[in-house]
Chain A
């Protein structure tokens, strides 16, 4: 048996944990630079507030329902996500955090111990709520894909109360029949379109296809999905947790920048973020892509991008930020009001198969390890590369930011004794 536990309206629900005054009110959370709505709490959902809409477009609707609007408070979400994951991990000896608000659990040889999976799911849900004040749904199924399906049912089907178990054939059919193709894990919107051209409408239709035929017409990946929907386990742990093949850090700037120095700092920030993510998953960067542009709505749109090939794949922040400085001459043009910039690692290699080169010095792994350790102990940015500069105006626009309740002493929640 597998379980997928995920938070309802994750970021929006996290905003409510330390602010009881908004627990009963509709809450939405905006993306970086307060651009779009990225999370809506269950109450806001019932009011019909749409997700992924630009904030300025739905502002009137939010005001009409007096919806609480918050900027993304990553310091808070990171902390609460850790707490939630640690509670979930108590319920199984094998869990894997799939994203900031989703976690898979595997239950191997639990059959004799647990008689009612529905009860167990409800126990997980109850405990997470009691200990972290986050509402979660739990989906249980015999494969990873069915666990995902069940978690979808736990959210969408009205009679589930946040927990769904796909155990018997009857219920499996019932759930799959109500599920759209592109809601299936691993089926994107383009693939869903292709499948619907063949007359398929629901997840149930897909599960009734012959796996061999699907393999011929689509791919082995879709064949696996079909098998998994039928309860045949094809995906294993390692398929889900395979490291990312590309890492990007990009964002529109809080304020336009025009000086070369500011652009260097902004790009350096992204480069270091990419480098840190690569190191976390044990990858080395071979090819780096950097770009900077004005806004496409400007009178004259300017965009420049450059790829930088490292002679030897690296996860050394100094080498990566040096690459930024070297490329700046191409990316920077005086007079351009830069609106967006970013850095991406296009080609990654595994740290385990590192091929040293006799003539290229290896950087300083000990220094990098020390750098990582200091930042993980004293908080991100405790030490940084000089070219990143101090946090400045071009950083993020977060107008509706809640306090950092769990990471700053001056921001801890107030408890009244009056």
Chain B
């Protein structure tokens, strides 16, 4: 009698992860901060007139042009050829700061003034030594 050896293969080793069916997309910061991708840009704050709103010099600002502007919103505007970040006082046509020692700026007909967008988020770097590799 001849014996032909046959190998028995065990196809599955171990359990299939029970989590595979529950996999979802990772959280992304874009998803959190950018509601209107085609109408949003990022700028960098310079100066400390908005510190009571938690915006400090060097922070990144998310600017959304699509969002309707309400009285009291933190906005970015083009004021006489310069981007500024202020609180919009619609009723009195003024731009307010959020720090001591800064007077309100009245918008007159002689000013070049356009609202650029609303600032729904700002981003602050807390650890100066932090430098992500992907930052080009």
Across-interface contacts of A84 in B (CB, < 8 A) = 38
A406: nearest chain-B partner, CB-CB: B41
- A135 smallest CB distance to B (angstroms): 13
What are the 9 A-B residue pairs with the smallest beta carbon separation, nearest first?
A: A131-B39, A417-B47, A418-B47, A21-B81, A20-B78, A86-B38, A415-B43, A417-B49, A415-B83
- B95 smallest CB distance to A (angstroms): 11
Flag A111-135 by CB within 8 Å of B: 1 or 0 each: 0000000000000000000111100
A282 located at the interface, meaning its Cβ lies under 8 Å from any Cβ of chain B in the complex: no
B83 touches A413 (CB 8 A): yes
B66 touches A416 (CB 8 A): no
- A415 smallest CB distance to B (angstroms): 4
B39 touches A83 (CB 8 A): yes
Interface residues on chain A, number (Cβ under 8 Å):
28
CA distance A84 to B38 in the complex (A): 7
By a beta-carbon cutoff of 8 Å, the part of chain A in contact with chain B is 18, 20-24, 82-84, 86-87, 130-133, 379, 405-409, 412-418
Given contacts A82-B38, A412-B42, A412-B60, 15 further A-B contacts (CB under 8 A): A20-B82, A20-B116, A83-B38, A84-B38, A86-B37, A87-B39, A130-B39, A133-B65, A133-B116, A414-B43, A415-B45, A415-B63, A415-B76, A417-B49, A417-B55
Interface residues on chain B, number (Cβ under 8 Å):
35
Q: A18-B41, A130-B66, A417-B85 are in contact. Are A409 and B136 (CB under 8 A)?
A: yes
CA distance A418 to B84 in the complex (A): 8
B112 touches A24 (CB 8 A): yes
List which B56-98 residues lie within 8 A (CB) of chain A.
57, 60-61, 63, 65-66, 76, 78, 81-86, 97
- B135 smallest CB distance to A (angstroms): 5
B44 located at the interface, meaning its Cβ lies under 8 Å from any Cβ of chain A in the complex: yes
A131: nearest chain-B partner, CB-CB: B39
23 contacts between A and B (CB under 8 A): A20-B82, A20-B83, A20-B114, A20-B116, A83-B37, A86-B38, A130-B65, A130-B66, A131-B36, A132-B38, A133-B65, A408-B136, A412-B41, A412-B43, A414-B43, A415-B44, A415-B76, A415-B85, A416-B82, A417-B45, A417-B50, A417-B84, A418-B84
Across-interface contacts of A415 in B (CB, < 8 A) = 43-46, 61, 63, 76, 83-85
Which of A406, A408, A418 has the most CB atoms of chain B within a 10 A radius of its CB? A418
B81 touches A20 (CB 8 A): yes
B39 touches A132 (CB 8 A): yes
